[in-house]
Amino acid sequence: MYVRQPGARLTLLYSHGNAADLGQMYELFVELSSHLNVNLMGYDYSGYGQSSGKPSEQNTYADIEAAYRCLIETYGASEENIILYGQSVGSGPTLDLASRLPHLRAVVLHSPISSGLRVMYPVKHTYWFDIYKNIDKVALVKCPVLVIHGTADDVVDCSHGRALWELSKVKYEPLWVKGGNHCNLELYPEYIKHLKKFITAIEKSPPLKDDSPESSGPSDLETGSESMESSRKSTDVRDKSRSSTDHRRSTDRREKPRSSIDRKDKGRKSVDHPDKPRASVDQSDKPRKSIDRAYPYLVFLTLAMHCVTALEG
């Protein structure tokens, strides 16, 4: 699904979380495109929504590669103007691709995982049977990295986001949403405010070139007349009084954003769905995928945890 924003210079390639598909993400994609003034492409992983195939780690890497090639070859985007956005399990394919693109403009990690095994057990080392080894790939990313994570996340602990931010080569001021859970960060006004600030800073910063020295930190980005703050500074958002919906630990179900994103000027956008009618994208009546399909490896990882306990004990 491609959302075109007239006059936009940057394009966001969004990798959604588990137990979601384009039908659920459609409204959020349209609103993000409008409020951030970016083109936006979303895609479904193999076995999700109307996508064929079966969910697996390697297939998600192939899926994001295909979506990226579509942006380049069909929509005329360039690597220097693409921002990769990965939410939850989507941080896996996002960082895998970002680690292989030397001229990528930026990366956003939303409630990311440091690795699949680390979600279940706080291992100190990376094992061969682990999946989505983001903690080993994030340092290979050459562009600015923004991390957004809720401090009350009971699915993927906030320590995952903090660890990835600490290891990022080009840090951007992170957003630690105090009281934010795994699936409700879009409900906080600071979410869209901080994203806008980030996009503005990225637009004003020059793309990374072969003959230019690699950026050393967020001080290379400027927001208006103010330089970016120290890479060690974080943004703590005070807990909001609004109620949040409880989510089961086994799902990454997304709730529709409400007051935090103003829903105006929707008529300005055009949405392209290559090779499929819009009806096939809006699938609100269809059952969602369970985490078992996104993590067929979890049963094996559970057994492996006992071995890890013995090794690290």
Give yes or no for a contact between 148 and 175, defined as CB atoms under 8 angstroms apart: yes
List active site positions: 88, 153, 182
Measured from the Cβ of residue 135, the count of other Cβ atoms closer than 10 Å reads 19
Give yes or no for a contact between 83 and 15, defined as CB atoms under 8 angstroms apart: no
Q: How far apart (Å, rounded) are the C-alpha atoms in residues 70 and 134?
A: 24
H-run or E-run covering 164: helix 158-167
Kindly tell me the sign of the dihedral angle through the C-alpha atoms of 76, 82, 86, 91. positive
DSSP reduced 3-state for 15: strand
Give yes or no for a contact between 201 and 172, defined as CB atoms under 8 angstroms apart: yes
Give yes or no for a contact between 22 and 9, defined as CB atoms under 8 angstroms apart: no
Tokens of 93: 């394919």
204-to-27, 37, 106, 289 alpha-carbon distances in Å? 28, 14, 12, 40
